[in-house]
Amino acid sequence: MALARPSRGWFAENRVWLALLAPLVVLALLASSWNWWTIWKPNHPSSPQRPVAGEVHLSAPLRLSGHELPFDMRLRADKAERAVQGLGQRAVDGLVLYRVAVTYATAPEQPLTSCQITLLDQQGASYQPGVGTEPIEGQKRQMLARSCDNADAPGPNYNPLTGAVEQPFDGGPRPAQWSVDYYFALPKGRQPSELRVVYQLPDYAALPVS
């Protein structure tokens, strides 16, 4: 006559496999988030650099054409101010013009690369400088700034395709510090909140302007 084995219960009998489930779930999550780590995060503004004593320091090397190139830049931004007009332009109907002054500081021999400027309002909507403006009749119209360069003397820059350092033909040496005024047109009721300056993702300077 066979004796029935006393049952220990399903959970007790499978406790080893159940214990293994936890690390397996973690591994599965890591595997399925591979694209997030390798594609999304490095290519999106996911690493804000916030000001210390009013100044943001960007120092991550630039990756251009397979090279890691030294980069060092310090940035400050004034609070956004309402402006009636800027450089002979005003906001189109329904929008309000704001001016944000940004000060850049780096060694004159530091090669630069192109940057992207974006203003965020308090609801998270983003705006580009110089969009939503129109020329004022009778006034001399000038180009509104959209880049980080010192227009008078841009100084050396990295060639984005080769990574080689190139010298501009004119302008002379770039000063160690320069300022650029940016003009943004926001809808009525929206307030500027943060200015973002991106030289290379995922890092960006997050400068409060409110």
Residues that bind other proteins (CB under 8 A): 1-2, 4-5, 92, 94-95, 121, 124-128, 131-132, 185-188, 190
Q: How far apart are CA 142 and CA 81, in angstroms?
A: 20
Question: Least distance to other proteins from the beta carbon of 82, Å?
Answer: 15
Question: Least distance to other proteins from the beta carbon of 6, Å?
Answer: 9
Nearer to other proteins, 7 or 66 (CB): 7
Q: In the numeric block, which tokens belong to residue 136? A: 């004022």
User: Which of these, 82, 145, 75, 62, lies nearest to 106 by C-alpha position?
Assistant: 75
Question: Least distance to other proteins from the beta carbon of 53, Å?
Answer: 31
CA 87 to chain centre: 26
Nearer to other proteins, 77 or 185 (CB): 185
Nearer to other proteins, 111 or 132 (CB): 132
How many angstroms separate the Cα of 111 from the Cα of each of 27, 114, 131, 152, 159? 42, 10, 28, 16, 9
Nearer to other proteins, 131 or 165 (CB): 131
> Would you call 28 helix, strand, or coil by DSSP?
helix
Q: What are phi and psi of 34, to 5 degrees?
A: -55, -45
Question: Least distance to other proteins from the beta carbon of 126, Å?
Answer: 5
Nearer to other proteins, 93 or 170 (CB): 93
The pairing of strands 81-82 and 67-69 is: unpaired
Question: Least distance to other proteins from the beta carbon of 103, Å?
Answer: 25
